[in-house]
Amino acid sequence: MSRIGNAPIQLPQGVDVEASGDKLKVKGPLGTLESPLPAGITLSKEGGVVNLKRANDEMPLKQKHGMARAILMNSVIGVSKGWEKKLELVGVGYRAQMKGADLSFSLGYSHEVKFQVPAGIKVQVTDQVRLDITGIDRQKVGQTASEIRSLRPPEPYKGKGIKYAGENIRRKAGKTGKAGKGK
């Protein structure tokens, strides 16, 4: 029995869910999202509560049942509240700024690094070292944050780089002792 798949989804005010064929369409105050509906999974809506049911208890369908419910829940939250990731730039001279619709980074390289923000994602730069990435699609927000972080991942010796807000970087000890000792 899938505990995730069987859990009902309470729809917030102003959010509507429609199933047409193999697609789920979620409309809300922040926008509209579409997600796939696996074969063998059906949607039933009663009042402001949505349930997903599966046709049988075979293992592949059980797995898709929980996944479809999680994706639908993420879409409902996205169109009602939105998703957000926060990044911080740590390092002397590391900064970011918006240039038109693109981001421009100074990350200690000999050149500026440019990043094109995908459609449907909003990036806000605060005091040049903090980034707020927002959008209605959870996967897209997380992917964008991951791609920005990969421009200069935090290094373990001084902790310099781009990190998620609240992320704990495991630090390594540097060299100890004098060079040439024992010769």
Q: What is the reported pLDDT for 2?
A: 59
Q: Same fold for the domain at 3-80 and the one at 83-164?
A: yes
Enumerate the domain spans of the chain: 3-80, 83-164
For the purposes of burial, counting CB atoms within 10 Å of the CB of 127, is it exposed (0-12), middle (13-18) or buried (19 or more)? Answer: exposed
Query: What CATH number has the domain spanning 3-80?
Result: 3.90.930.12
pLDDT in tens, 22-48: 999 999 999 999 999 999 999 999 989
> Would you say residue 156 has pLDDT above 90?
yes
Query: What's the pTM value of the predicted model, to 2 decimals?
Result: 0.88
Instruction: With beta carbons less than 8 A apart as the criterion, state whether 49 and 10 touch.
Output: yes
**Which residues, including other chains, have CB under 8 Å from residue 63's CB and lie 6 or more apart?**
none
Mean pLDDT of 1-21: 88
Query: Per-residue confidence at 183, pLDDT binned at 50, 70, 90?
Result: low
For the purposes of burial, counting CB atoms within 10 Å of the CB of 144, is it exposed (0-12), middle (13-18) or buried (19 or more)? Answer: buried
The string of DSSP codes covering 120-182 is TEEEEEETTTEEEEEES-HHHHHHHHHHHHTTSPPPTTT--EEEETTPPPPP-----S-TTTT
* CATH architecture designation of domain 83-164: Alpha-Beta Complex (3.90)
The lowest-confidence range among 58-72, 119-133, 168-182 is 168-182
Query: Per-residue confidence at 94, pLDDT binned at 50, 70, 90?
Result: very high
More reliable by pLDDT, 32 or 4:
32
Q: What is the reported pLDDT for 1?
A: 47
Q: Which residue has the tokens 């063998």?
A: 40
